[in-house]
Amino acid sequence: MLVAPRRPTRVLDVGGVKIGGDNPIVVQSMATADTRNPAETLAQVQELADAGCEVVRIAVPDRKAAAALPDIVPFAAVPLIADIHFEHTLALKALEAGIHGLRLNPGNIRKHEDVVEVVELAKKRGTPIRIGVNYGSVAPMTPEFVDEMAQKNATQIELRAEWMVRSALGHIKILEDLDFGLIKVSLKAFEVPVMLEAYRRFAALPNDYPLHLGVTEAGTPRAGSVRSAVGLGTLLALGIGDTIRVSLTTNPTEEVFVGFEILKSLELRQKGATMIACPTCGRVEVDLFRIANEIDDFLLKIDDPIRVAVMGCVVNGPGEARDADVGLAAGNAKGVIFRKGKIVKTIPEDEMIDALKREILQVVEDRRNGVADEPVFEGQYKPMLTLTSVS
Ligand code: SF4
């Protein structure tokens, strides 16, 4: 089995979105808008929701941000999680505003009675708390711990990963001692081997807390997407992970697209179209990169799970993309449209992009009408949706 069975966990309810158990792995992101500005924050949450984001985290760095929450939380398009550090009054304000989840490390709150106050209110409201351990901000290792790991001949990766796990367990114990169990855990690091080892170690422990996966500060879109795909993809393939956040230095809607692409790659979620495009070779006779990018943009508006292929030649294209629901093989002066690898239509080169778009809409329409996914042969083609219907 290539993808291991999912690690069993308890199920948490974050504002109606279920996380853990057999529920779909949830894609989340973090708003970059200033929480002190409710209109700006709500607009970005809506933008993220439109991109498919299922839960959005917002930073609550100070009292002004906390004071804005009553103008944000009830109006948000998806459940919100307040990201809070150190200051327990901010957590109380967030809970009072009806926040759907907290990201808070109880061990970082100085006074125990303040922790008790937050936990009691979270318990009363049924609000989950994520313990978020980041290697970059974890407390310094104690000499005893370093000695203990040295005796076990631990590598640097094992040393760091185990320290993160111990840190998470310390925070968990504070919550468990207060009889609080609505816990999620994340163990993020920039170094992929460290985060892999930390999550793997934690997942082997006898608890069933859902795991939020992330590679922290993964970087700019190109490098960050790859780092996240390797880190998150490896864990997901091991059956570890219940919600994911891809961290990229760009507009957060990109994080949502990348998150879903990771899940789609492992066939853990189906959302929208999947595009197959050949890398091109010496046989290609058209500007395939331009065509592929135009179709890629078009597919962003398609919510149905459909596989679309854009291939560079009529000779090998359909055969190479046999599993695609619909595709285009571009050639010199003509293009062919195919379904499931069978050629169904030949069109002049200047019509091929529009013809492929129409065929995609036709497949979607056929599916919705319960029409079997058989090839439609030339002459039977009757578009039932117009291009403008999804533009
Ligand atoms: S589909 Fe044609 S152009 Fe594309 S890589 Fe294959 S052989 Fe080359």
Is 369 a member of any domain? Answer: yes
Residues 279 and 214 in one domain: no
CB 367 within 8 A of CB 373: yes
Residue nearest to ligand 1 atom 1, measured at CA:
317
**Ligand 1 neighbour 278 (Cβ under 6 A):** yes
Which of 284, 306, 309 lies closest to 295 in space, CA to CA?
309
Is 148 a member of any domain? Answer: yes
Max distance between CA atoms of the chain, in angstroms, equals 78
Q: What is the CATH number of the domain that holds 294?
A: 3.30.413.10
Is 303 a member of any domain? Answer: yes
Domain finish residue from 242, 265, 288: 265
**Ligand 1 neighbour 207 (Cβ under 6 A):** no
Residues 239 and 310 in one domain: no
**Ligand 1 neighbour 312 (Cβ under 6 A):** yes
**Ligand 1 neighbour 316 (Cβ under 6 A):** yes
Contacts of 294 (CB under 8 A, 6+ apart): 353
pLDDT in tens, 306-319: 999 999 988 888 88
**Ligand 1 neighbour 320 (Cβ under 6 A):** yes
Residues 349 and 212 in one domain: no
Residues 252 and 170 in one domain: yes
Total domains in the chain come to 2
**Residues of the domain holding 179:** 12-265
pLDDT score of 389 more than 80: no
- Choose the residue to mutate in 285, 286, 311 for probing ligand 1, maximizing ligand atoms within 8 Å of C-beta: 311
Residue count (the chain): 391
Residues 37 and 119 in one domain: yes
Between helix 156-177 and helix 192-203 the angle, nearest 10°, is 50
β-partners of residue 85 are: none
Distance 310 CA to ligand 1 centre (A): 10
Residues 139 and 225 in one domain: yes
Counting from 1 in the atom list of ligand 1, the atom nearest the Cα of 315 is 2
Which of 314, 240, 255, 311 lies closest to 280 in space, CA to CA?
311
Q: What is the CATH number of the domain that holds 190?
A: 3.20.20.20
Residue nearest to ligand 1 atom 8, measured at CA:
281
Q: Assign residue 50 a region: left if phi > 0, alpha if psi is -120 to 50, beta otherwise?
A: alpha
CB 20 within 8 A of CB 14: no
Ranking 192-201, 311-320, 323-332 by mean pLDDT, the lowest is: 311-320
Residues 135 and 157 in one domain: yes
Residues 214 and 175 in one domain: yes
CB 188 within 8 A of CB 195: yes
Distance 287 CA to ligand 1 centre (A): 13
Domain finish residue from 234, 265, 296: 265
Residues 234 and 321 in one domain: no
What is the rounded distance in angstroms from the CA atom of residue 256 to the CA atom of residue 16? 19
pLDDT in tens, 65-106: 999 999 999 999 999 999 999 899 999 999 999 999 999 999
- Choose the residue to mutate in 320, 328, 332, 338 for probing ligand 1, maximizing ligand atoms within 8 Å of C-beta: 320
pLDDT in tens, 260-301: 999 999 999 988 888 999 988 988 888 899 999 999 999 988
Rg (CA), the chain: 24
Is 1 a member of any domain? Answer: no
Is 6 a member of any domain? Answer: no
Distance 335 CA to ligand 1 centre (A): 13
- Amino acid, single-letter form, for residue 214: G
Counting from 1 in the atom list of ligand 1, the atom nearest the Cα of 317 is 1
